[in-house]
Chain A
Amino acid sequence: MSNPSRAPASKATFEALYKSVYSDLLRFAQRRAHPDRAEDVVADTFLVAWRRLDDLPKHHEDARAWLFGIARNALLNEHRGAERRQALGVRLKEIPAELPADGDADLVARRIDLARAWSRLPEAHQEVLSLHVFEELRAPQAAAVLGISPVAFRLRLSRARRALRRHWDASPQSSGLPVDVSERIAKP
């Protein structure tokens, strides 16, 4: 049943936003929440957005970032009080233990090393890198997700990138052992 207190235009706006951002928002959640929780996080986020439709930014990229920010706050708020986290860790996919018969052993080894380097990063570094690399947000939108200024975001991104490269360069060339990055999953 439709909600009679919402103007049809508002409902249409929300439905268009839902359809255009749903996939990106689910990916955002999959990277940060337990896989079993990702769809719930998306549903919760859109419900909050529906209730706060008056706050919806006009431009699509800003609206997309606004939704990411709502999802991030929902995930952070799952840990209350002293346990409340300040940043969300971002998980990478697991690299298969077996090297494909026709695979590039050197490339696989470098990816394993990179995953290990990622797992050594603080969650705050993972978060800014992910907003730039995976969510592909520009600095103003990424900063809005984190509630900081664009200048501060650029500074954090630069530090995080340097830290990742430092860990990557410091890691020994992998012999192809599987890497378990699942421990970096954000606790639901």
Chain B
Amino acid sequence: MTRSPDIFTMLRSLDAADQDIDARGARARIELARIVATGPSGRPSRQPHPRRRGRTAWKVTLLGGTVVAGTAAVIVALPSIMGGDRAFASWTPTPHAMSAKERANAAGRCRQVQEDGAGRFDANELRHADAAIVERRGAWTTVVLATGKGFSATCITDDSTHLFRDSFGSIGTPAGYTPPGPRDLVATDLGTGIIDAGHLSIAAGIAGPEVAKVLYRSPAHGDVTATVSRGRFALWLPGDELAHAAKNGVEVEVTYRDGGTGTNRLHL
């Protein structure tokens, strides 16, 4: 059979890439701003000691604002006094991966903040916790340090400031914890909090081994994708739309490793 002599010309017609990419689009501009806002070799690793103005309820200690969330968890909010992403302007519904070095730095900072603060009551668990989730949404970094026994420590931090970063976190182990089934989710953090940038809503917890993807369909922000990693899931979004989720539950869509999909209602 006779073939066209120019195999490469025909190959170009099969290019899978988009031909109309806008390098000045919103995503491109946000990423550029985020990148040039970072330092070339990391930032000061220590943060100020958490300022606490808390109250205690059950095993949950709420510190710094009107934070609601957490199953047997301690919630900490660190206010920023040095600017930063005060209105969650850089936040993205889809998490971004981070380099190995950035991940290590972020996990180290979270561990340090927790050790200096509420985590001193959970020092042993914290010492044995690994970084299950490290993700970025705009200027905001989320870290979940976790053990295989249900313990977790979470930090959500505005990395656009060099000092006194706006920060939100939790730490603890669900009371009566039992591991989830292969396709189940167990929420450990579900609700809202308020920090300098405003209200934020969070859903995080433990994912069964067959869970590959978790998606929350936000009325205000569209589809918000969770990071699912090492048996944990975490998503958060600006605003208070999960204010009643702890009590009323909230539905998320789950994709399993075999490609199947389903829904799961998170509740505390």
Chain A interface (Cβ < 8 Å from any Cβ of B): 1-3, 5-6, 11, 14-15, 18-20, 22-23, 26-28, 30-31, 39-40, 42-44, 46-48, 50-51, 53, 91-93, 95, 110-111, 114-115, 118, 129, 132-134, 161, 164-165, 168-169, 173
Q: Which residues of B contact A11 (CB under 8 A)?
A: 36
| Contact status B7-A165, CB under 8 Å | yes
**Which residue of the partner chain A has the closest CB to B15?**
A134
B residues with a Cβ closer than 8 A to A are 1, 3-4, 7-8, 10-18, 21-24, 27-28, 31-32, 34-41, 83, 94, 96-99, 102, 160-162
- B31 in contact with A46 (CB, 8 Å): yes
A175 to B124, CA, bound (A): 66
Given contacts A2-B36, A92-B14, contact A22 B23 (CB under 8 A): yes
**A2 in complex: contacting residue of B1, B24, B37, B97, CB < 8 Å:** B37
21 contacts between A and B (CB under 8 A): A2-B36, A3-B40, A14-B35, A14-B36, A15-B32, A22-B21, A22-B23, A31-B15, A31-B17, A39-B31, A44-B98, A46-B35, A47-B102, A50-B38, A92-B14, A92-B15, A93-B16, A111-B13, A114-B14, A133-B8, A173-B1
**Least CB separation from B10: chain A residue:** A114
Which of B8, B14, B99, B160 is in CB contact (< 8 Å) with A48?
B99
- Which residues of the other chain, A, contact B97 by a CB distance below 8 angstroms? 40, 44
Tell me the complex Cα distance, A30–B15, Å: 10
Q: Considering the complex, give the chain A residue whose CB is closest to the CB of B4.
A: A110
A31 & B40 in contact (Cβ 8 Å cutoff): no
Partner among B7, B27, B38, B162 whose Cβ is within 8 Å of the Cβ of A168? B7
Residue pair B160, A1 in contact (C-beta under 8 Å): yes
How far, in angstroms, from A31 to B11 measured CA to CA in the complex? 13
Residues of the A chain whose Cβ atoms lie less than 8 Å from the Cβ of B41: 51
Q: Tell whether, in the assembled complex, residue A3 and residue B14 are in contact, meaning their CB atoms are under 8 Å apart.
A: no
> Given the complex, which residues of A lie within 8 Å of B162, measured CB to CB?
1
Q: How many whole Å from B215's CB to the nearest CB in chain A?
A: 12
Q: Is A50 in contact with B96, judged by CB distance below 8 angstroms? A: no
**What are the residues of chain B within 8 A of A27 when measuring CB–CB?**
15, 17-18, 21
Inside 8 A of A133's CB, which chain B residues have their CB? 8, 11-12
Q: In the assembled complex, how far is the CB of residue B230 from the closest CB belonging to chain A, in whole angstroms?
A: 14
Q: A20 to chain B: which residues have CB within 8 Å? A: 23
Choose among A48, A51, A129 the residue with the greatest number of B CB atoms under 10 Å from its CB: A51
Q: Which residues of A contact B15 (CB under 8 A)?
A: 27, 31, 92-93, 134
